[in-house]
Amino acid sequence: MSEIDYAALILRCWVGVVMLAHGINHARSLEGTSRWFAKVGFRSPDLNARLSAFNEIAVGVILIAGFLTPVAAAAVAGTMLVAFWSIHRFAGFFVFRRPDEGYEYVATLAVAALVIAIVGAGRVSVDRALGWAENMDGWVGAMIWALGVVIGAGQLALFWRRPIQEVRS
């Protein structure tokens, strides 16, 4: 295995663990997650809470396995766009300006997902075992990642409206 294979495995698994943990956290309190989606301006908060929990759990497992890796990276990118646009962009770059609010975290995950999509799953992956890895990395992976951003923008267009009661600077 090359250094790139090791790096791809480490990055893919770490982002997968982060997404899995986040999804499990959402799933453990779907009612609370739904209330939070409603508070921050999402229509159909129950649907968004369930889809968010399912998406994050599935993406975490898929990234860890290295299965359809650029598709999973695209889902991370779309999720991070939704988080950035609906919450984090209002607080500025740094997380510490307002605890858990700055967008440095979501931007880092989105860029990590782009790297994963471009580099590919690496040698230790289901994609490689199935012979798909070489067909999905590089520019193809970057384009799939970009499609995830477009899908995230679609979710925002369909479901999100900035809450009137909350004005952030």
* Alpha-carbon dihedral sign for residues 65, 66, 70, 73: positive
Q: How far apart are CA 30 and CA 48, in angstroms?
A: 10
For all residues of the chain together, what is the average pLDDT?
Answer: 92
Determine the residue type at 81. L
Q: How far apart are CA 151 and CA 132, in angstroms?
A: 23
pTM: 0.91
pLDDT value of position 152:
97
- 30-39 vs 3-28: helix axis angle to the nearest 10? 90
pLDDT value of position 162:
82
pLDDT value of position 98:
61
Residue 70 CB-density burial (10 A; 0-12 exposed, 13-18 middle, 19+ buried): buried
Confirm if 107 and 84 have CB atoms less than 8 A apart. yes
Task: Give me the mean pLDDT over the 111-124 stretch.
Answer: 96
How much of the chain exceeds pLDDT 90, in percent?
A: 82
- At 163, the pLDDT band (50, 70, 90 cuts) reads confident
Best CA proximity match to 72, nearest among 125, 118, 113: 113
Q: How many helices (H) and strands (E) does the chain have?
A: 8, 0
Task: Give me the mean pLDDT over the 93-102 stretch.
Answer: 72
Alpha-helical regions (H) of the chain: 3-28, 30-39, 45-65, 69-86, 104-119, 126-129, 133-136, 138-159
Q: How far apart are CA 111 and CA 116, in angstroms?
A: 9
Of residues 92 and 9, more confidently modeled = 9
pLDDT value of position 167:
44
- At 92, the pLDDT band (50, 70, 90 cuts) reads confident
